[in-house]
Amino acid sequence: MDFSARLKELESFERKDNKASLSSMLKQNGFTRRDFLKYSSAMAAMLGLSSTFAPTIAKAIELADRLPVIWLHMAECTGCSESLLRSDAPTIDSLIFDYINLEYHETIMAASGFQAESNLENAMKKHKGKYILMVEGAIPAGQSSFYLTLGAHAKKGEEIAKQACNNAAAIFAIGACSSFGGIQAAAPNPTNAMPLSKITNKAVINVPGCPPSEKNIVGNVLHYVLYGTLPALDNYNRPKWAYENRIHDLCERRGHFDAGEFVQSFGDEGAKKGYCLYKVGCKGPYTFNNCSKLRFNQHTNWPIGAGHGCIGCSEPDFWDNMGPFEEPLKSHLFKSISADATSDKIGIGVLTLTGLTIAAHAVISSVKKD
Ligand code: SF4
Ligand code: SF4
């Protein structure tokens, strides 16, 4: 891929002139150029590029303010935005998010009421066909769409989301709710909440998680800045660069799983020794995400590191399919397992076998240890 042509093209795009430069924002927040290059190198690795691409990534980040982004809130808790923005010591990811040309984001913009509504309309008109759309939250749809009305004219969320999708260059469903319906769509789904992909015919890239890590959000913007195309996807439309590995495969407790060393109950000796959390409900074997590699809160920790099993938040319908969260699944049909689209049958067969092995392994070791 000729990144230089793409970056040159971006350089010719209009930039918002009232924005502080990225280097001044980084400096103000205590980051050096070296920190930035280190970050760019980590981003290159995350996107599957070698570290020699770090300067290219750095350039792409600096040009990220050329692409307009519209962020919509639907039926949700704003946890995904919080994941990215709520920090007393901003991360480079959150600064980049501040730096991009964010044309509309209800949580962080000053406008409200009629003014906010006309800001959105103007942004969609001005950047028609060129903006990146990021949508947070599920969407009450069809006859139940009135469960979500927004703005001074009480427009339905479904109507706003559809309109924004129609004119977007790329569409990202941010978080479990927008990707798969989330808790709003949990049975019996009283508001008929839908994933974004169900209310538009356009391609939607799912970035699930409850919340997704800030790197998975910013990484998608960067991927689009750099490539100008959509990333390779798995069969749940999640970008492979972020969601192709199982939590279980990259877990720091995996050695204990293989050795049959399990936490039997929270707070026991095994928990103190950092044993595997499978028997207290970890859903890592059934969940695809990169949390173990990227972690959260400036790479400080992640749920399994903190002593609770994965609850499968990046899988479809995890509220209904992965519970109870603190017990192993009695039976798992692997309907949410993302086998490679071209080898579904074989993949699911292998994964089912893996699942049986996991269950057998847990039973055998429980006999050994109990
Ligand atoms: S079951 Fe969970 S805690 Fe155990 S190794 Fe797998 S992902 Fe890690
Ligand atoms: S560890 Fe599991 S539940 Fe926790 S954030 Fe990652 S995918 Fe979601």
Residue 337: per-residue pLDDT: 42
State in Å: Cα 292 to ligand 2 middle. 9
Residue 30 to residue 25: CA distance in whole angstroms: 9
Question: What are 282-301's pLDDT values in tens digits?
Answer: 999 999 999 998 888 878 89
Residue 152: per-residue pLDDT: 86
Q: Does the beta carbon of 47 lie inside 6 Å of ligand 2?
A: no
Question: What are 228-270's pLDDT values in tens digits?
Answer: 899 999 999 999 999 999 999 999 999 999 999 999 999 999 9
Mean pLDDT of the chain: 87
347 pLDDT above the threshold of 80: no
Residue 79 to residue 317: CA distance in whole angstroms: 18
360 pLDDT above the threshold of 70: no
Task: List all residues whose CB is within 6 A of at least one atom of ligand 1.
Answer: 247-248, 251, 253-254, 257, 276-278, 282, 284-285, 304, 309-310
Of the listed ranges 38-52, 104-118, 131-145, 321-335, the least confidently predicted one is 321-335
* Ligand 1: residue whose CA is nearest its atom 6: 248
- Beta pairing partners, 284: none
Q: What value does the mean pLDDT take over residues 16-27?
A: 82
On the CB side of 9, how many CA atoms lie within 13 Å of its CA? 10
Q: Does the beta carbon of 311 lie inside 6 Å of ligand 2?
A: yes
Phi then psi dihedrals of residue 100, to 5 deg: -60, 165
CA-based nearest residue to 270, from 122, 369, 164: 369
* Ligand 2: residue whose CA is nearest its atom 2: 310
The single-letter DSSP state of residue 230 is P
Residue 350: per-residue pLDDT: 41
Peptide bond into 303 cis (omega under 30): no
What is the position in ligand 1's atom list of the atom closest to the CA of 283? Answer: 2
State in Å: Cα 338 to ligand 1 middle. 18
Q: Does the beta carbon of 287 lie inside 6 Å of ligand 2?
A: yes
The pTM assigned to this predicted structure is 0.87
Residue 66 to residue 68: CA distance in whole angstroms: 6
Residue 323 to residue 158: CA distance in whole angstroms: 29
Residue 301 to residue 292: CA distance in whole angstroms: 9
Ligand that comes closest to the CA of residue 307? 1
348 pLDDT above the threshold of 50: no
Residue 77: per-residue pLDDT: 94
State in Å: Cα 312 to ligand 2 middle. 6
What is the position in ligand 1's atom list of the atom closest to the CA of 276? Answer: 4
Q: 75, 177 in Cβ contact below 8 A?
A: yes
The bridge status of strand 101-105 relative to strand 139-140 is unpaired
State in Å: Cα 255 to ligand 1 middle. 9
Q: What value does the mean pLDDT take over residues 111-126?
A: 91
